[in-house]
Amino acid sequence: MNTLVEAPSIRSRIPGLLEDHFELAQLECRYEYEAGRRRLGWIGLAVLCLSSAFALLQVTLIEGLRAAGLPLYAACLMLAVLWSVIGIGVYLRCTTRDPKAGEPFMGTRAEFKRSFQWIQTHFF
């Protein structure tokens, strides 16, 4: 009985390596999809707040011109400023990428580079 086991050839390891790259890319793609989906929701909320601010500014201008001195325009202006600050705050706080996550597909790029160097050293 021969107990020696042949080491797998380099060529037979390439499909497994490519499969690992594909799985890593799928994992990163799922993360980017979820992060993008959340970001899109917060951007929608920010757009809603900023749109409300624009509408209130228009009401403020119309009422300000119409009433010329009534306190109604001042109240509308304060609400418009409030909604603008809320919209900008939501956008700045909730749409930035988590710095701990790194750049998109960073792991895939690093693994591909290492694998490409490994293939070059073994085949070329």
pLDDT, tens only, 73-107: 667 777 788 889 999 999 988 887 777 777 777 77
Which of the two residues, 2 and 60, has the higher pLDDT score?
60
Give the pLDDT of residue 49: 93
When pLDDT is cut at 50, 70 and 90, the band that residue 68 belongs to is low
Segment 62-75 mean pLDDT: 68
C-beta separation of 18 from 112 below 8 A: no
Give the pLDDT of residue 24: 86
Q: Residue 6: pLDDT above 70?
A: no
pLDDT, tens digit (0-9, with 9 covering 90-100), for 32-65: 898 889 899 999 999 999 999 988 887 777 777 6
C-beta separation of 52 from 83 below 8 A: yes
Q: Residue 13 corresponds to which amino acid?
A: R
Segment 109-123 mean pLDDT: 79
Give the pLDDT of residue 78: 72
Q: Residue 108: pLDDT above 90?
A: no
Give the pLDDT of residue 118: 79
Distances (CA, A) of 62 to 14, 24, 55, 76, 79: 70, 57, 11, 10, 15
Segment 105-124 mean pLDDT: 78
